[in-house]
Structure 1
Amino acid sequence: MRCLLLAGSALATALAIAGRPARTQMRPLTHRWVYLAHNLLPDENVPVVEGLLRRAAAAGYSGAVLADYKLNILDRMDERYFRHVDRIRKVARELRMELVPCVFPIGYSSGLLAHDPSLVEAMPVRDAEFRVRQGAARLVPDPDARVANGGFEESVGHRVAGWALQDEPGQATLVDREVRHGGAASLRLQDLGATNPPAGNGRVMQSVRLKPFRCYRVSFWARTRGLDTPGSVNCVVLPPRQGAPSLTHISLGVAPDQDWKLHQTVFNSQDNSSANLYIGVWGGRRGALWIDDVRLEEIGLVNVVRRDGCPLVVKGEDGTVYAEGRDYEPVRDPRMGTVPWEGEFELWHEPLDIRLAASSRIREGQRLRVSFYHPGLVHEGQAAACLTHPKVYALLRDQMERVQRLFQPATVFMQHDEIRCANWCGLCQARGVSPGRLLADNARRCVEIVRRASPQARVCVWSDMFDPHHNARGDYYLVNGSWAGSWEGLASDVVIVNWNAEQAARSLPFFAGRGHRQILAGYYDGDPAATLRWLETARGVRGVEGLMYTTWANRYDDLERFAGLLWRPAPK
């Protein structure tokens, strides 16, 4: 989850950049903030945060953004948490540092979904085939959805049959008949930086058949030895349309050294009847990965979402719609949005059956067509809340009122960031507008909620979902449509926390032209001097007001160096 660090005076003079960036001279920054993603509930975290505040104050920072997940569930916190917050507030007052609380987790929505997991944005499955046996209806999996030669037993030399693409057979990708999980062989990917330079790819691909708007699981077994890029192991399911994003974006969690372990991803086929399934490594260097027993299968009622806009429909092949409670028992998935804790989603568990009621009109052996909704999950299980459901806004209002009572903040930071699934559920679809229009309306309503609770508070928001040069576009993850136009929902007095360094030359003028003040969210756990180059791009852009020490890895080693480069005199 992204969070901000604000700096609020004009950037001044030019930067001299020759080889290693030189330290710039600029007018004093009135707001110099540090981003703190810390949980204030454990006793041991409070002195850590206090120490960071004292270090930051000594280095010339003027405030801190508090990105604590617990701010989403303040109604569940006990007196201990509020004592800890009070201590941190007192330290901040002593140091004359502003505390900026984060609110409204739109995008990384687990804090909202902890209150009601069914508020997750969900994707439709339409008319999946079920059949009744022994009083329960179960999925009849799509027989055409399968992987050919998923165990890699069939090959000519190191060229495996059934896979249309194989990177460098016999060098980067090799059939291994000694090390295998099942059957007679596996596929080994070996030292890809040397065996397939310069890309370092080791992949196989085959076209698979799907049915539109069904839910599928890809699974495979993997073993590694000394794999120095385990995060580059991926499963990609590409639709036939040129430029379309993958249907799945799940992080597989492969370790550098592991024995055989099952890995899997789940995806919705959307409107596709076929796709290209890729498995392997993109950008590898050293080490070995073995892959075996690749499977593709349609799955049924896993993480089934039940709420307005996400109906479960059970009907016969003659079109008869059967009634829940009369023809079949109520369908509730107790693991949906509760594992490992409330608001979080496991990718897979055993599907639910549809159990017939005693008075059911459904008969033994009958074929049914079942439609339902499931969450659109990304990476490590990131889930986004629905942008339309009224209860979402009730929860946002409650959060803001509690944050106002706790902090009386001068600035509030809205967490609209990387919203990767949207505009699928019936409530969103019924509005008949684009995702961009949905988000524009959401942003307006969120700002109104802040202003109603805290009329004098300044409102900040991340840039990416409102930036046409970043994520406010089409073909974005699992979003049904384009985010274009989302920026129309932001009044010019909303401060943009801009983290689009790669497109800074276009992004910064875009927001400046719309009258927004901007704060550059720099650092990202690398070389602090890189922010100087970003400031050079920002020179002359109206309304660029400040900087933020932004760490995604809770790395504060460079806290003082960042300040020394950007606003303090150089050390002697």
Structure 2
Amino acid sequence: MKTSLSFVLLVLLTLCACAKKETKVYPYRWVYMSNSLRDDSDIEEFRAVAKTCSEHGLNGILLSCGADQIDIRPAEYVSRLREIAAIAGELGVEIVPSIFSIGYGGSALAHNRNLAAGIEVREALFVVKKGEARHAADPAVEIPNGGFEQYEEERVAGFSAPERLGQGVFRDQETFREGASALRFENPGDTTLEAPRLSTEVPVTPNRLYRLRLWVKSAGLDPSRPFGSGNLRLQATAPDGRPLEWININMPSTGDWVEVQEGFNSRDNERVEISVSSSRRQSGKIWIDDLRLEEIGLVNLLRRPGTPVTVRGEISGVLYEEGVDFAPLADSLLNFRFDHEGPSIQLLKGGRIKEGERLRVSFYHGTHVYDSQVTVCMSEPEVYDIWSRNARLILDNLEPSKYFLHMDEIRNGGHCKACKDRNIPMAQILGDCITRQVNIIREANPQAEVFIWSDMLDPNHNASDKRPYYYHVDENYYGSWNYVPKDLVIACWYFEKRRESLDHFSGLGYRTIAGAYYDADDLENPKGWLAALDQTPLASGIMYTTWLEKYELLGAFGDLVSGKE
């Protein structure tokens, strides 16, 4: 009996040992880290993460620290950069710099904010008076009953939604900002109820810039979720359902009246829907009042070769010259928000523009997506000059063997003259940009290994052909993978489509790694990725990807992916 038990135990131990031996350990086992290196505490934070990596089988830190802005950074930053490079070397952990972002501005906008992608405004009206031309609405616009004072039976007069008050949206005659009433959004958090929503349709002039204004107040709200849709959304939508612009409003649990402003370009539309909505999961109360719409002028004006400004006489048709007829134009508050006024056009002495003249002005403006995302133009040569300078400085100060292109979620582009003059699709513009990025890196470091986020090259993700547009881009990016170097390593991060994404890239001969974790409270996500990677030819690694600096599970993640668990 003892012999039989011993034999069974031996078999079980052998099976366990074999199972452990067969666990795949991928060569790239990383953690993503964002660190500004502003002071010495950032160095200690880096040291702690690097130490955890070293102790738990992780061998790389994908570091977002502004390394592609070294040429405009102070000496203290460069000193800290070199210090963390030394720390990483001592601990046997490699720093992989995350660089060259288009979708999130990055180094290009740090150098020149005019390098943002622009959307065209055509033939806006400016009227000359006392030596300057100021913007004039053409025609004037308004949202009827935007003060929510008029009602028809159980409806808000002039608004198509809600169909009747009392289902998430209520008239409030006790709490209001002005007039005699406001609207109150109130939902007890019951997800079976329809989300509170207010909407109306208004006429606009195509290809003009508009600003929405709304006053809001809150009481007893749930906290906003990170990366969520805020407590309230203010949005302008085209008749075909395409969002023109929106803002997710994050409000305090309880707060007094504040004004929210958002801008949008009407594009080729003559009517737009204006809506205010709240999540059906949102409990508490939100009041709204004084919803207004106005046409605006040179707000977030972009000045670069690919975004020319033209000023012509409305009647004469004469094209006036900047620096001769009027002073150079610039938006000194260029912040990609719509909380300020654009510049007026200052007439120059001896110029041809006359008092009282009506001018038609065309220009390009920058904008944002969600709360603060600003895209860079991929067709402006200055962008590549900035990257070239910094690629050499990155090599001098970090000496990396691997680089990561932060090329995800490119939600604007293709509108400016620089893009249109190329006469190629956005998928090819993106592919050309990535190819040039790789060439810039390898001009500085010929042996460099280059990684990139997957989404803009993935038909299962943000390069899908299911829609004819992608956010502010008038095309989709389908086919972009046909225009990029074949030796890129692709970091897939769409967990729900991990099988499809990995198959897409491995089928094209690309090596892949997984962007795993994403700030969960357990490691089920990385385990799911590992199972998928194990079935993927050319799979090469996995990364602990935290956007909220949640490193509590980093050690356990390292043990899991390095076979120590």
Q: Give the TM-score normalised by structure 1.
A: 0.90
Partner of 2:119: 123
Query: Which residue in the other structure is 1:235 paired with?
Result: 234
Helix, strand or coil at the partner of 1:444: helix
What amino acid is aligned across from residue 67 of structure 1 in structure 2? S
Aligned partners of 1:127 and 1:502: how far apart in 2? 45
Gaps of 5+ in 1: 1-21, 338-344
Q: Deviations over 1:364-421 (max 9, x none)?
A: 2221111111003112222111111111111111111111111221111011111111
CA deviation after TM superposition for structure 1 residue 136, in Å: 1.6
**CA distance in structure 2 between the aligned counterparts of 1:53 and 1:125, rounded to whole angstroms:** 49
Cα distance in structure 1, aligned partners of 2:533 and 2:96? 24
Separation of aligned partners in 1, 2:337 and 2:200: 27
Q: 2:96 aligns with which of 97, 100, 109?
A: 100
Q: Residues 251-290 of structure 1: matches in 2 within 5 Å?
A: 251-290=248-287
For the pair 1:331 / 2:329, whether they are aligned, the reply is yes
Task: Give per-residue Cα distances to partners, 1:324-344, cap 9 Å, x unaligned.
Answer: 22222221222225xxxxxxx
Which stretch of the first structure deviates more once superposed, 404-413 or 328-337? 328-337
Structure 2: how far apart are the matches of 1:30 and 1:331? 53
Change (3 A) 1:226 1:200: farther
Q: Deviations over 1:136-171 (max 9, x none)?
A: 211111335321111111114552111011166213
Tell me which amino acid in the other structure corresponds to 1:320: V
TM-fit CA distance, 1:564: 3.6
Q: 1:555 aligns with which of 515, 535, 550?
A: 550
Question: Are positions 1:531 and 2:531 aligned together?
Answer: no
Q: What is the DSSP-based 3-state SS (H/G/I as helix, E as strand, rest coil) of the residue aligned with 2:356? A: coil
Read off the aligned partner of 2:202 and give its amino acid letter: V
**CA shift at 1:568, angstroms?**
4.0
**Partner in structure 2 of residue 494 of structure 1:** 488
Distance 1:51 1:418 in 2: 30
Of 446-455 and 355-364, more deviation after overlay is shown by: 355-364
Evaluate the alpha carbon distance shift between residue 31 and residue 505 of structure 1 in structure 2; reply closer, same or farther with a 3 A threshold.
closer
Q: Distance in 2 between matches of 1:538 and 1:399?
A: 34
Distance 1:516 1:99, change over 3 A: same
Cα distance, 1:23 vs structure 2: 11
- Cα offset, 1:92, TM superposition: 1.4
SS for the counterpart of 1:35 is: strand
What CA distance in whole angstroms lies between the structure 2 residues aligned with 1:288 and 1:315?
50
Shift, 1:466, TM fit: 0.9
- Write the distance in 2 (CA, Å) between the matches of 1:137 and 1:110: 35
For each residue in 1:221-278, what CA deviation from the matched residue of structure 2 results, as whole angstroms up to 9, or x when unmatched? 000011115514101211112xx43100333333322110001111111111111111
Match of 1:81 among 77, 80, 89: 77
Highest CA radius of gyration, 1 or 2?
A: 2
Structure 2 match to 1:388: 379
Deviation digits for residues 110-158 of structure 1, max 9, x if unmatched? Answer: 4211111111111100001111122221111133532111111111455
Aligned AA (1:437) = Q
2:42 partner letter: N
Change (3 A) 1:282 1:550: same
Match for 1:189 among 185, 190, 212? 185
| Counterpart check, 1:478 vs 2:472 | yes
> Could you tell me how far apart the structure 2 residues matched to 1:104 and 1:190 are?
44
**Secondary structure of the structure 2 residue equivalent to 1:416:** coil
What is the alpha-carbon distance in structure 2 between the residues aligned to residue 236 and residue 564 of structure 1? 46
1:247 maps to what in 2?
244
Report if the CA contact (8 A) 2:187-2:196 is conserved. Answer: no
The Cα of 1:522 is off from its aligned counterpart by 0.4
Q: Say whether 1:522 aligns with 2:519.
A: no
Q: Could you say which residue in structure 2 is the equivalent of 1:72?
A: 68
User: Which residue is 1:52 aligned to?
Assistant: 49
Letter of the structure 2 residue corresponding to residue 312 of structure 1: V
Consecutive unaligned residues of structure 2, counting only runs of 5 or more, are: 1-18, 225-229
Q: Tell me the residue number matched to 1:540.
A: 535
TM-score (norm 2): 0.91
Q: Which of residues 201, 207, 214 in structure 2 aligns to 1:213?
A: 207
Cα separation, 1, equivalents of 2:138 and 2:106: 32
The reply on whether 1:509 has 2:503 as its aligned counterpart is yes
Could you tell me which residue of structure 1 aligns to residue 39 of structure 2?
Answer: 42
CA displacement, residues 419-471 of structure 1 (integer Å, 9 cap, x when unaligned):
11110110100111111110011111111111111111100001011111111
> Residues 507 and 224 from structure 1, CA distance in 2 versus in 1: closer, same or farther, beyond 3 angstroms?
same
Take 2:163 and 2:210, find their aligned partners in 1: how far apart are those partners?
A: 26
- Give me the whole-angstrom Cα distance separating, in 2, the residues matched to 1:199 and 1:386: 42
Shift in Å, 1:200 = 5.1
1:352 counterpart (343, 361, 368): 343
> Which residue of the other structure, out of 401, 404, 409, is the alignment partner of 2:400?
409
Displacement of 1:60: 1.4
Shift in Å, 1:348: 2.5
Provide the alpha-carbon RMSD of the alignment. 1.9
Distance between the aligned counterparts of 1:269 and 1:199, measured in 2? Answer: 32
Tell me if structure 2 keeps the 8 A contact 1:235–1:279. Answer: yes
Which residue number corresponds to residue 145 of structure 2?
A: 149
CA distance in 2: counterparts of 1:271 and 1:443, whole angstroms: 31
Determine if contact 2:25/2:561 at 8 Å carries over to the other structure: no
* Structure 1 residue aligned with 2:11: none
Distance 1:288 1:401, change over 3 A: same
Give secondary structure in 2 for the equivalent of 1:479.
coil
1:134 correspondence with 2:125: no
Deviations 1:268-306 (A, max 9, x none): 111111111111213333100000000111110111111
* Structure 1 residues 306-361: Cα deviation after superposition (integer angstroms, max 9, x where no partner): 11121111111231111222222221222225xxxxxxx44331221112222232
Match of 2:24 in 1: 27
